[in-house]
Amino acid sequence: MSAPIEVSFEVSGPPVPKGRPRFGKCGGVYTPDATRRYAIGVQVAALAACIQQRWPRGQRGDFAVEIDLYMADARLADVDNCAKAILDGANKTVWADDRYVSSLTVRRHIDRERPRAEVRVRRLDIQLEIGGAR
């Protein structure tokens, strides 16, 4: 049986933009707590989807990613920073590293009842091989 060419997962709760690294009192650099917690949530959701959908973890190749961000209110969040948090959280799970993402689409929506991020990932290089275009 061949590996699937798509995987999808949902991250429950309001999407969190990736925070900038902070400098501590002693000069060290750290990641903000909200960013770290959200990255763990992304990793857990991605890992569960990979296992359930039989997606080989840590792949290399060309990936197309679609992200739908469902925000709790109309305040404008930086969709690029939200996407960056999701892409980084999926490293070593959905792909080896987010540098393999060659196409990215991000859409913002409002859902006051159930804020979340819906993520769909597709292998582009495998689709090309199947289509005979390579």
Q: How many CB atoms lie within 10 A of CB 128?
A: 12
- CATH fold of the domain at 6-131: 60s Ribosomal Protein L30; Chain: A; (3.30.1330)
pLDDT per position as a tens digit, 77-119: 889 999 999 999 999 999 999 999 999 999 999 999 999 999 9
Residue 16 pLDDT grade (very low, low, confident, very high; cuts 50, 70, 90): very high
Please state, in angstroms and as integers, the Cα–Cα distance from residue 50 to each residue in 8, 67, 75, 108, 111, following that order.
8, 17, 32, 24, 26
Whole-structure pTM value? 0.86
pLDDT per position as a tens digit, 54-71: 999 999 999 999 999 999
16, amino acid identity = V
Determine the pLDDT at residue 45: 98
Q: CA–CA separation, 5 vs 110, rounded Å?
A: 29
Which residue ranges make up each domain of the chain?
Answer: 6-131
The SS3 of residue 35 is helix
Q: CA–CA separation, 21 vs 13, rounded Å?
A: 22
